[in-house]
Amino acid sequence: MPVDCLYCGESIADDVERCPHCGAPSHFQKKGFRVGARGRFLILFVLFSLTTLVVALLLPR
Ligand SMILES: [Zn+2]
C-alpha cells in the first residue's frame, strides 16, 4: 500500500526502510509498529487473564 513520504511528499511503498526519493527513514514500515503492538498486546493479555481469573473466582458455584 503506497503512502506519502513525510519529508518530500512522494508516494512510496509502506514496507521500504527509506524513501527512495529523498533517503529519509520511513515511518510507515511495519517493523516499528510490531514492537509497540506486541507490548500492548502483552498488557492486554495479562489484563484479560487477570479479569478472567477474578471473574472465575467471584462467580457463584
Ligand atoms: Zn521522501
Q: Is 23 left (phi over 0), alpha (psi -120 to 50) or beta?
A: left
* pLDDT at residue 29 in the model: 61
Cell 513520504 appears where?
5
* pLDDT at residue 54 in the model: 94
pLDDT digits (tens, 9 = 90+) for 18-40: 899 999 888 766 655 555 567 78
End-to-end CA distance of the chain: 52
- Cell readout for 17 is 526502510
Q: How far is the CA of 44 from the centre of ligand 1 (A)?
A: 35
Residue of 33, 5, 9 whose CA lies nearest to 19: 5
Residue at 43: amino acid letter: I
Q: How far is the CA of 45 from the centre of ligand 1 (A)?
A: 37
Q: How much of the chain exceeds pLDDT 90, in percent?
A: 38
